[in-house]
Structure 1
């Protein structure tokens, strides 16, 4: 895949970039190694000053960088601007909290005496150079949610971003440099996927984090495992959105529209499978389908646009295959199901609601990365849980109920890294984020995320 900005609203290639050669990669690895030796010796206070400055610069740049994001991957301009704001807030959160999150831990005094020590404490130390392999769908946020905690912990980062967002990737390197971080603390590697193995196997790279497809995660995990290097993987999801009889059905239907089509449905934590109790199925489906039909699909630079294009022609083709397969096997397209009329340029697809889904259909088992929702009718709580868990993924989930017993049941039995009640799934700096099953392992954000790339060191003093 070429390293290029291809505007998904027009299909036109706006800018191309040459991939780094072996000598350039080597220079960046050497620079990162030297930078880590210096950066790890800085204080939390010193790092916080730099990260807050990066946040301030990002706020100042928000309008320009939002336009770059929209041009590269197609999300509506307002959403791109909001993404930049969220990144700045997350930087400030880690600048404020990293020192307390990584403070020395002191075991119980009784355990210390029992070990024969006069003093014992646990210290978190940075691991070193971390390779980040990141996707295009949230080209700022996916990177910052790794970079902010990693830099505050004393690590340094190498970013291999998706090949269709090179300008955003280069902006991030420039942002941290302008903020005052050492030149080698955060570097963008404009390389193809074929270069990842060699970089990850380099002994100067200590660990890796990847957000992307299951196949990409399996590949990186295998290489890292062979080298005995730590990884954190976030590999997508097929998140359930469950509606039970006690729910506010009108609110659930309104929220379901946003939960499905945010970022044109190209979000790992977007609700994808809508599992609705038979008592409220008709009311929910009516409200949901109406909301999906009313969305405006169009130019993402237009303020009136709700849903922009898919990020790539291949992405749209993959989505069409899933929908066409389902319809051939008996699914009903309540709305959508085709390319919108009048938008011949670019990679647009109509917001779509499908019913009558069976396990024989690919769309039941595969992640739909686009504005396509599948709706299931279930008879009771047991069936709702069973259908929700009938996927190889387990990233997050949204459940609509006002029944306390049902809340406890879903918390206990849903196979997901998060359970959100009466609201749509979202990520926040203060809360751990990650999945179970084939959605990956490890956690980002919160104290859990900042500790993923730290060595846990026991310090023991004899009596």
Structure 2
């Protein structure tokens, strides 16, 4: 059984039965059979399905949002926004997939030579709990528009969200079995990856779990996209607009109770404005309210699971013991649910736990750098390479984007703005933050056969 626990109360919610290995095989076979017809549908027919699913999300926004709020603690306003973003992703690929996948003419000794982009077959998506709807559609919208069918193995802690996502396709009248839910226990995922009719794998989660998924997929010679952890740096230079930077970085660090791979986890501030920036961050963090995520007035909800909260507390305690200043929070809250207070740690260095490990919670870590070069060295001193931010004077933004972004070891860099995922732009990491890209034109090209076609006679 897949048992969801409400992190606001610690009380169990509805349990959902997991499927057997025989039922898993049946669903994979059904996805392979559905692929035979779905791959032949034109872009307009596929787009109509995605548009209908997006319309169902619009109509059911409140119900779907509350599922997230109850199962993983996302504040209700953020949950509504996530449903809207998932619908946007579906519509984006419905509109742009044909352009992204257009054949490319390439000169050769042929009369005509080109590359066309063909679907692979059933694609398995293995998803985490922290953005149940967005991550599902980030996976499935491009895969489906490319002509693949989708098998979704969602996190066991959000089974109602998973069932609702699959239900949207049924309610929208989608062709049978082009999108299926696989309510599996985690130990059974390997069988799904190894099934010969699963042709590719998309995984979002921890670096450790991603390494295991990648090893299994490689053994089966299957393409895999990995979106893994991050310890994202945000560099604040002395000429930056500190108020705008503080507003944005506080939002980045505390949205979804800080449980985001692309949150600003290490705020690296140039020395002349360091104390001022720490003060501005503290003022804004102190104004946030932690509490029941169903309450519209609360900006920060609970941590999704008790083990995650305990690990966060351990990281903070070790960082303080190593010499960091704790200016706010720092101790788990008592009472029902898995709440952790908004926390501000200053004078953190690269040896401390909160700087060298990924922190998944509302903990802002501030580090001092003597110069831009020193800030870049700190930013890159991590095993991760997911995303980064740079704050500077607006008149320098374009030049620093071209000069400095290339020195940052990360898959995406935001200059004077929040790091975010956007259906129009590719997203992904390097180093232990992942392989491949999702979203944008790059994301839809991950799960296609880039087939070369040579048409004679030879010229």
Report the TM-score, using the length of structure 1 for normalisation: 0.96
Is contact 1:213–1:235 with CA below 8 Å preserved after alignment? Answer: yes
Within the candidate set 336, 344, 352, 1:361 is matched to 352
Question: Which residue does the alignment assign to 2:59?
Answer: 60
Query: What RMSD in Å do the two structures reach over aligned CA positions?
Result: 1.1
Helix, strand or coil: the match of 1:58?
helix
Q: More deviation in 280-289 or 404-413?
A: 404-413
Tell me how many residue pairs correspond in the alignment. 454
Question: Which residue does the alignment assign to 2:430?
Answer: 436
Per-residue Cα deviation, 1:85-109 (whole angstroms, up to 9, x for no partner): 01111111111111111111111xx
Alpha-carbon distance in 1 for matches of 2:236, 2:321: 27
- Show the 5 A alignment for 1:301-320: 301-320=294-313
Helix, strand or coil: the match of 1:433?
coil
- Show the 5 A alignment for 1:189-268: 189-268=182-261
Question: Which residue does the alignment assign to 2:267?
Answer: 274
Cα distance, 1:409 vs. partner?
Answer: 3.2
Question: Which residue does the alignment assign to 1:155?
Answer: 148
Helix, strand or coil: the match of 2:83?
helix
Within the candidate set 100, 124, 128, 2:121 is matched to 128
Question: Which residue does the alignment assign to 2:388?
Answer: 397
Is contact 2:264–2:388 with CA below 8 Å preserved after alignment? Answer: yes
Alpha-carbon distance in 2 for matches of 1:171, 1:225: 31
Is contact 1:401–1:407 with CA below 8 Å preserved after alignment? Answer: no
Q: More deviation in 302-311 or 98-107?
A: 98-107
Within the candidate set 373, 384, 388, 2:379 is matched to 388
Alpha-carbon distance in 2 for matches of 1:362, 1:378: 18
Alpha-carbon distance in 1 for matches of 2:357, 2:275: 26
Cα distance, 1:275 vs. partner?
Answer: 0.1
Cα distance, 1:231 vs. partner?
Answer: 0.1
Cα distance, 1:16 vs. partner?
Answer: 1.2
Q: Is the aligned partner of 1:106 residue 2:101?
A: no
Cα distance, 1:15 vs. partner?
Answer: 1.3
Question: Which residue does the alignment assign to 1:333?
Answer: 326
Is contact 2:127–2:204 with CA below 8 Å preserved after alignment? Answer: yes
- The unaligned stretches of length 5 or more in structure 1 are none
Within the candidate set 350, 364, 389, 1:373 is matched to 364
Alpha-carbon distance in 2 for matches of 1:68, 1:41: 35
Is contact 2:383–2:431 with CA below 8 Å preserved after alignment? Answer: yes
Cα distance, 1:410 vs. partner?
Answer: 1.9
Q: Is the aligned partner of 1:97 residue 2:91?
A: no
Helix, strand or coil: the match of 1:271?
coil
Question: Which residue does the alignment assign to 1:50?
Answer: 49
Question: Which residue does the alignment assign to 1:146?
Answer: 139
Helix, strand or coil: the match of 1:16?
strand
Within the candidate set 402, 411, 414, 2:408 is matched to 414
Question: Which residue does the alignment assign to 1:38?
Answer: 37
Is contact 1:232–1:440 with CA below 8 Å preserved after alignment? Answer: yes
- Show the 5 A alignment for 1:155-194: 155-194=148-187
Is contact 2:350–2:381 with CA below 8 Å preserved after alignment? Answer: no
Per-residue Cα deviation, 1:168-211 (whole angstroms, up to 9, x for no partner): 00111111122222221111111111111111111101010000
Helix, strand or coil: the match of 1:217?
helix
Per-residue Cα deviation, 1:155-179 (whole angstroms, up to 9, x for no partner): 0111111010000001111111222
Alpha-carbon distance in 1 for matches of 2:147, 2:16: 31
Cα distance, 1:460 vs. partner?
Answer: 1.0
Alpha-carbon distance in 2 for matches of 1:306, 1:409: 36
Q: More deviation in 370-379 or 21-30?
A: 21-30
Is contact 2:257–2:303 with CA below 8 Å preserved after alignment? Answer: yes
Report the TM-score, using the length of structure 2 for normalisation: 0.97
Is contact 2:349–2:367 with CA below 8 Å preserved after alignment? Answer: no
Alpha-carbon distance in 2 for matches of 1:255, 1:175: 34
Alpha-carbon distance in 2 for matches of 1:19, 1:34: 23
Per-residue Cα deviation, 1:439-460 (whole angstroms, up to 9, x for no partner): 0010000110001000000111
Cα distance, 1:356 vs. partner?
Answer: 2.4
Is contact 2:231–2:355 with CA below 8 Å preserved after alignment? Answer: no
Alpha-carbon distance in 2 for matches of 1:303, 1:258: 16
Alpha-carbon distance in 2 for matches of 1:55, 1:310: 29
Question: Which residue does the alignment assign to 2:8?
Answer: 9
